[in-house]
Every structure is written in C-alpha cells, then in structure tokens.
C-alpha cells in the first residue's frame, strides 16, 4: 500500500480533492503527516529502522521506503538474508502503523527502544529456529 501510495494520508487525500485538517506527525509532533515523512524521514521512524537494520545508518540522506527496498535488492548476499531484511522492513512498517494508532486513539506512548525491542521479539517468535 505504501508503494502504491494508497495510504489515506493528508497529502494523498488532498490529491483526490478530499481536504482534512493537517495534523502534525504523531511521533515527532513537528512535521506534517506526508507519506514520505511517515516512511523514515521522521526521526522516530528512522531510529527504529536503524536499531533493527544497522546498515541504513550508512545512508547520507534518509532513505524512502522504495530506496529501502532497492537497497535490499542490491545486497550481494544469500537469498535468505534478503528475505529476512524484507521481513524486518515489513514488520517495522506494521508496528509503526500500530504505534501511530495507539498514540492517536489510546493515548499511549512507546519510545524507540521499547518499540524496537517489541518488533525484535515478534520477529524472533515467528522466525524458524
């Protein structure tokens, strides 16, 4: 949904002539909620990403989700490592969406380290031994 730009975010809705109030990002409370901001331009998102996949710290600028996937395709390593990285990226996106909803509707806040650990535990639970 992210790559197809189907997420119902303010910038995507405005392209369809649906105007909604532009609230700040649920994580940093500074920037507007655009798709590019939510997919790793946000400090919170990028910190979670780099805690779980440290190779993204080597980027000069923060990557977009499509650059993340392209970076994963460019690995000259075993196929199972590529699959693992793709699985981790998907888990990060899922848990960030869940955390955004929790912050917005349940008024609960989780820090980057806590969320990273939660994602890591979930990945370990479902990965083969």
Residue 24 three-state SS: strand
Burial of 109 (0-12, 13-18, 19+ CB in 10 A): exposed
Number of domains in the chain: 1
Low-confidence ranges of the chain (pLDDT < 70): 1-16, 18-22, 31-40, 63-78, 129
Amino acid 3: pLDDT: 45
Residue 55 three-state SS: helix
Return d(Cα 71, Cα 127) in angstroms, integer.
Answer: 22
* 94-120 tens-digit pLDDT: 898 889 888 888 888 899 999 999 999
Return d(Cα 105, Cα 72) in angstroms, integer.
Answer: 33
Amino acid 118: pLDDT: 95
Nearest Cα residue to 45 out of 2, 106, 105, 107: 2
Tell whether 89 is covered by a domain. yes
Full residue range of the structural domain in which residue 80 is found: 24-126
Tell whether 43 is covered by a domain. yes
Tell whether 13 is covered by a domain. no
pTM exceeds 0.95, yes or no: no
Tell whether 6 is covered by a domain. no
Determine contact, residues 117/125, Cβ cutoff 8 Å.
Answer: no
């Amino acid at each position: 949904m992210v790559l197809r730009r189907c997420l119902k975010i303010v910038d995507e809705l405005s392209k369809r002539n649906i105007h909604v109030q532009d609230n700040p990002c649920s994580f940093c409370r500074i920037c507007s909620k655009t798709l590019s901001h939510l997919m790793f331009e946000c400090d919170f998102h990028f910190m979670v990403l780099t805690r779980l996949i440290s190779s993204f710290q080597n980027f000069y600028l923060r990557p977009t989700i499509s650059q993340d996937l392209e970076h994963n395709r460019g690995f000259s390593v075993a196929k199972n490592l590529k699959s693992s990285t793709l699985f981790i990226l998907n888990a990060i996106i899922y848990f960030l969406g869940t955390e955004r909803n929790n912050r917005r509707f349940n008024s609960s806040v989780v820090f980057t380290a806590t969320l990273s650990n939660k994602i890591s535990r979930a990945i370990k639970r479902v990965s083969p031994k």
